[in-house]
């Protein structure tokens, strides 16, 4: 199974966002997004909700 860090990076790139763009879209810091993608942490429940909202807009599911 793919790790969350890899999935987030893949989805972000598929949507054409930079790490900074994604951070701004979900209201977190750039360093937070960088940490998630480098396997240094996982999104909080609130951040996961915002990520789901962001990616569902484009028909992308965070869990698949």
For the chain, the farthest-separated pair of C-alpha atoms sits apart, in whole angstroms, at 28
What digits encode the pLDDT tens for the residues 2-26? 688 998 999 999 999 999 999 999 9
How confident is the model at residue 4, as a pLDDT? 87
pTM score of the predicted model: 0.83
User: Which one is the CATH code of 4-56: 1.10.10.10, 1.10.260.40, 3.30.450.40, 2.70.70.10?
Assistant: 1.10.260.40
What digits encode the pLDDT tens for the residues 30-39? 999 999 999 8
Q: Do 62 and 48 form a contact (C-beta atoms < 8 A)?
A: yes
Domain spans, the chain: 4-56
How confident is the model at residue 12, as a pLDDT? 94
SS3 letters across the chain: CCCHHHHHHHHHHHCCCCHHHHHHHHCCCHHHHHHHHCCCCCCCHHHHHHHHHHHHCCCCCCCC
């Amino acid at each position: 199974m793919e790790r969350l860090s890899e999935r987030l990076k893949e989805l972000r790139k598929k949507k054409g966002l930079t790490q900074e763009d994604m951070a701004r879209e979900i209201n977190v810091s750039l360093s937070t997004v960088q940490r998630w993608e480098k396997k240094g942490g996982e999104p909080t429940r609130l951040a996961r909700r915002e990520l789901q909202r962001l990616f569902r807009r484009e028909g992308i599911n965070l869990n698949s």
